[in-house]
Amino acid sequence: MILASAIIYLLSPFDLIPDWIAGFGLLDDLTVVSLLVAWAIRTADAAQKKK
């Protein structure tokens, strides 16, 4: 679910910072997607440790 959210945000035309702002628009996308992927990895690790 978290990774699906990351993909949807990446493909969505709505961003926190518009992509036409030089550099910052793409940096915004990379930051949000990186945080979501890191969260998914931590969640998977925690679920694995519970088993």
- Condensed to tens digits (0 to 9), the pLDDT of residues 1-23 reads 888 988 888 888 777 777 778 77
Structure tokens of 9?
A: 């945000």
Prediction pTM value? 0.73
Pick from 28, 9, 30: which is nearest to 18 by CA?
Answer: 28
Pick from 46, 45, 51, 12: which is nearest to 28 by CA?
Answer: 12
Contact 39, 5 (CB under 8 A): no
State the residue range of the domain holding 46.
Answer: 2-50
Q: What per-residue confidence (pLDDT) applies to 35? A: 92
Q: How many domains would you assign to the chain?
A: 1
- Whole-angstrom Cα distance, residue 20 to residue 1? 29
- Condensed to tens digits (0 to 9), the pLDDT of residues 18-48 reads 777 877 888 888 888 899 999 999 999 998 8
